[in-house]
Amino acid sequence: MEPSTCSKCGVSWVGADTCPACGSAPAPKKEEFNQASRTCPKCGKYVRFVPSIVVWYCDNCKEYVG
């Protein structure tokens, strides 16, 4: 089981739905960019590769991904 991190106080824990220190919900997990599907983890739209700076870019979110 992966540890959760509190969105409010930063405490890490395993096994409970809420933070044992302050009762807040865990921070959302960072979505990972799947280079094989070439889709944005935030919006699901296709991303494009920018070879001059060697990164993937989502035109919809206007953000670099991966």
**DSSP code of 35?**
T
* CA–CA dist 37, 12 (Å, integer): 31
Between CA 56 and CA 58 the distance in angstroms is 7
Number of H helices, E strands in the chain: 0, 5
Q: Which residue has the higher pLDDT, 66 or 62?
A: 62
Which of the pair, 13 or 53, is modelled with greater confidence?
53
The residue extents of the domains of the chain are 1-29, 31-66
pLDDT band per the 50, 70, 90 thresholds, residue 62: very high
pTM of the entire predicted model? 0.48
* Integer Cα distance of 20 and 17 in angstroms: 9
* C-alpha Rg value of the chain to the nearest Å: 16
How confident is the model over 8-51, as pLDDT tens digits?
787 887 887 888 888 887 765 555 556 667 888 889 899 998 88
